[in-house]
Amino acid sequence: MRAPTDLGAPTTPGSPTPSSGGRKQRSGRGGWRSSGVMLLVMGFLILVPAGFVLLAAFSETVPRPGSISLDLTVGNFAVLGEPGVTRATLNSLLIATLSTVLALAIGGFLAFTTARTNIPFKGLVYLFGLMPLFLPSYVGALAWSILGSPAAGLLNIGLRDLGLTGFVDIYSIPGVVMVMAVFYAPYAFLLIHSSMSLMNPDLEDASAVHGGSQWRTLRTVTFPLAMPAIVGSALLIFTHVLENFPVAQVLASPGQIDTLPTFIYRLMNASPSRGNEASSVAILLVVFILVITWTQRVLLSRRAYTTVSGKGVKARKVDLGHLRWPLFVVATGYFLIAIALPILALFLTAMRTSPYMSSFRDLTAPGALDASSFGTVARSDVFLTAAGNSVVVALLSAAGGTVLAFLVAYIVYRTRARARGLLEGVSMVPLAIPAIVLGIGLLWTWLVMPIPLYGTLWVMVIAFLAVQMPQGLRGIAASIQSTDKDLEDSAVLHGAHRARAITAITVPLMKVGLTSTFLILLMLSMRELTVPLFLYTNDTRILSIAIFDQFENGGALQQAAAMSLIYCLIMFVLSCLPRLLGSRGGLNNH
């Protein structure tokens, strides 16, 4: 009922769950036992790799298996004084701020129009808001570099065909901001949509009854009530953009615009590698993200935002009047930029026989287009192996991630276990560590471990479990918080064992929350590029890596484009899975 939407739902970690006040203590005895075990598991998954990164930041040499040095130094932090770091920091903050504002505007607009207005084709507009989730940001960036590069970009070629000078330059801060915003807007859309459509109309009715105009009601009641969703998605988008590597690498680097993640990547790839300094820049990024998280907590903890009550409510609708169609056109514009143009660009690139094109008229020449690249790619070993690996890894890590997140969420929100605050804190740590750095930490960890998992798909699964823990936990947390505890307790009162009460009552009640968390994790695993970048071996290439490899190492844009399209198709098919699982029963529980 609530949620793929609950991705990143703002939680207030550590604070007691609302209305838990007078309840009696649960699982008082097992307080340390269950939470301690989970704490160990999460610590092992998350803190050990993070520890390697921290160690690297303070070491003379990169902590590699077999040569872990404990000669500590703060010398690596001298790199922070380099003008390049200052520039990269400013660029990162600027790009993240602008992208967040733009993404919120897009997401908020789509959410408001679909949840609360009579915009035409509401279902379609809802889809527009959702669809970019299925286009990995790396693929989107690649497509936009094909569309908007200054000399050979398709848009510029088109403009020149029309007799205009091409003026689109995607390799610029506005270009990067646009692509980031477009691809992160669904996060804002889903959260705000959920908040707006579940809003109890009483307060708005009260405003209207007391003479407030529609606009005034929206401004003083509706939007403030949606504040947790807006601030929550802002935080989520800001941190994601700040640590986004693929888009920055594909679109910012060519314009000589460094961001912190591309700067870290550059330091890692310098000759000789400057991994220690890269780690110290990473610490800077971590500090930024911690500050943002803390700010959000302070902002949201001051007031109560209870809008969802047990009663079924129907949110008020706003009549857009003569703005209905113009606003629909705006929404369609978003669809064009986020989905239609990128897909068309990839499609054209996959079909073109020559990489060079001076005018769209070239396409009419005989033999200019050839669809064989799809068949060649789809039959290639690289693709088949990578596709199989991707599906296996995504399914396993989504299933494992959902179970882990449920266990953690249960301990955090349903027990008084001593370590629950700590457990939640540890689970959220990956959010504060850029994927690019965590990837390296995970590589070192699993190379050093005596368990021979490195080089198998399991190491990818474990990496994804670690990296996606925050998203999993947030999804489940929102669901578990909105599920009444009394039913499970009644079962226990009537003699059921706690475990049975959980599996027979709480889990079925949370079915939608669990399925949607599974879906989110599945999509995230399918999309993830940065973390496996350091972990893959010949046998464990996954699709995102195969595409990156085709382009970044092979320069084979045509194959990369063809594979990207097939990749998106596979993601769509996979996204149907939770529905198939969910429809087997239980949906009617709600």
Site for another protein in 195-214 (CB under 8 A): none
- Rounded Cα distance between 75 and 280, Å, is 10
The Cβ of residue 316 has, within 10 Å, a number of other Cβ atoms equal to 16
- Is position 256 an interface residue for another protein (rule: CB under 8 A)? yes
Q: Which of residues 275-304 bind another protein (CB under 8 A)?
A: 275
- Is position 187 an interface residue for another protein (rule: CB under 8 A)? no
| E strands, 160-313, in order | none
Contact 281, 199 (CB under 8 A): no
The Cβ of residue 74 has, within 10 Å, a number of other Cβ atoms equal to 9
Alpha carbon distance, N-terminus to C-terminus of the chain? 8
Range in contact with another protein (rule: CB under 8 A) among 98-106, 234-242, 495-503, 551-559: 551-559
The Cβ of residue 447 has, within 10 Å, a number of other Cβ atoms equal to 15
- Identify which of 179, 136, 98 has the alpha carbon closest to the alpha carbon of residue 547: 136
Answer for which of 311, 553, 584, 588 binds another protein (CB under 8 A) is 553
How big is the site for another protein, counted in residues (CB under 8 A)? Answer: 95
- Is position 258 an interface residue for another protein (rule: CB under 8 A)? yes
Answer for which of 30, 489, 575, 586 binds another protein (CB under 8 A) is 575
**3-state SS of the chain: helix, strand, coil percent to 5?**
70, 0, 25
Contact 429, 437 (CB under 8 A): no
- Is position 90 an interface residue for another protein (rule: CB under 8 A)? no
- Is position 313 an interface residue for another protein (rule: CB under 8 A)? no
Answer for which of 285, 519, 526, 531 binds another protein (CB under 8 A) is 519
CA 229 to chain centre: 16
Point out which residues pair with 117 in neighbouring strands. 318
Q: Between residues 432 and 535, which has the closer beta carbon with respect to another protein?
A: 535
- Is position 508 an interface residue for another protein (rule: CB under 8 A)? no
Supply the minimum distance, in Å, between the C-beta of residue 476 and another protein. 16
- Is position 165 an interface residue for another protein (rule: CB under 8 A)? no
Q: Between residues 149 and 207, which has the closer beta carbon with respect to another protein?
A: 149
- Rounded Cα distance between 192 and 475, Å, is 15
- Identify which of 358, 342, 369, 368 has the alpha carbon closest to the alpha carbon of residue 152: 358
- Is position 117 an interface residue for another protein (rule: CB under 8 A)? no
- Is position 118 an interface residue for another protein (rule: CB under 8 A)? no
Answer for which of 22, 24, 25, 67 binds another protein (CB under 8 A) is 67
Q: What are the structure tokens assigned to 454, written together?
A: 């490195």
Please give the radius of gyration of the chain, using alpha carbons only, rounded to the nearest integer: 25
Range in contact with another protein (rule: CB under 8 A) among 42-50, 301-309, 412-420, 556-564: 556-564
- Is position 53 an interface residue for another protein (rule: CB under 8 A)? no
Answer for which of 13, 201, 425, 582 binds another protein (CB under 8 A) is 582
Per-position x/- string for 394-433, each x denoting binding to another protein as judged by CB under 8 A, each - no binding? ----------------------------------------
Range in contact with another protein (rule: CB under 8 A) among 12-20, 177-185, 446-454, 462-470: 446-454
Answer for which of 103, 198, 267, 409 binds another protein (CB under 8 A) is 267
Q: Between residues 84 and 174, which has the closer beta carbon with respect to another protein?
A: 84
- Is position 4 an interface residue for another protein (rule: CB under 8 A)? yes
Range in contact with another protein (rule: CB under 8 A) among 24-32, 209-217, 439-447, 489-497: 439-447
Residue 195 CB partners (closer than 8 Å, separation 6+):
111, 225, 226, 228, 229, 307
- Is position 557 an interface residue for another protein (rule: CB under 8 A)? yes
- Measured CA angle at 511 (ends 232, 573), to 5 deg: 85
- Is position 374 an interface residue for another protein (rule: CB under 8 A)? yes
- Is position 52 an interface residue for another protein (rule: CB under 8 A)? no
| E strands, 415-503, in order | none
- Rounded Cα distance between 256 and 272, Å, is 21
- Is position 25 an interface residue for another protein (rule: CB under 8 A)? no
Point out which residues pair with 67 in neighbouring strands. 64
Q: Between residues 253 and 293, which has the closer beta carbon with respect to another protein?
A: 253
CA distances from 66 to 125, 209, 312 (A): 55, 73, 61
Contact 188, 7 (CB under 8 A): no
Q: Between residues 200 and 253, which has the closer beta carbon with respect to another protein?
A: 253
